[in-house]
Structure 1
Amino acid sequence: MPRTPLVILTLSLTLSSCDFAPTPSNVKVSRQPADGLTQNSFGQSFLQQLVDEVREGAELSLSQAYDRNNIPAAERISKPQAVGRYEWMGDKQLAVIDLSYSYNPMRVMRVVGIEADQMVTINCISPSGIPLKMRASEDECSEAIAEQFNLQELH
């Protein structure tokens, strides 16, 4: 039997351990110094590194949640899958990582970009598996992306 609440709890715990700005409940935003990283740094190796970090973090969090909840090995069937791509929004190139789980409808979209001297990371969560959008009016994920990257096209 799929354990949707367990995966949602796991991801929520993972995301809540970071320093986030106040945003809607299914959208989490974090900022950190870019440390010399620029939009020109965004290449295939950077994207693959992000994909690997997201997948490995999801695997670790899921494993820890299974352990905490004493889930037998035979029932540990959900596996995270992550794919990455680049999207241009205005003059901003954004790295987009889509995370999903086998045997679970939950989806997460991580958007990473540079704004001024900061690396901005936005995590949008869809517990029910509804596709997440980057460009949609009255959508909390799209609004957070537009706000964090000063994009006029969605305001």
Structure 2
Amino acid sequence: MCELVNKSNTLVLFRLLENETIVLNVSPAFSTAYNGVQFTWALRLSDECVVSTCESASVPSVRQVLVLLYYKDGPCSDVTVEEARATIFCPQTGEEVFSGFSSEYSREFTKGSGWPLPLEKSKQSAFTNFVHHNIDKPLNIVVDIK
């Protein structure tokens, strides 16, 4: 098993859509290599919002920022990743800000596709608030791909 680690410096941005603000960022593409074969990946921060439109709805409104890993290019159209984990660090201090982002099990990526790296549920609300309070500030995201 090979472990591939990449550090991406990502700037948290936001975008306005018809009077709504969402966090949206795509990192610069980065490459990893396994046995001399190169794979290209990208990270994305995405602001997801599920709004209940009915007072009696069984699903409450939820807002969360997700970290997603995308397979951009490589020697084959599909690649299986046993595990992907991410940690976010403060670029000024190098201090770990959030950890616990992880693919829950093996995932197959198709070129151009991405999967979320879910955060532990107990940290999700704090992470979403953190990202919303750090618009226009950089974050360092370290990704460990196996």
Superposition TM-score tier, normalisation by shorter sequence: 0.3 to 0.5
TM-score by length of 1: 0.35
Q: Which structure shows the bigger proportion of residues in strand conformation?
A: 2
TM-score by length of 2: 0.36
Q: Which structure shows the bigger proportion of residues in helix conformation?
A: 1
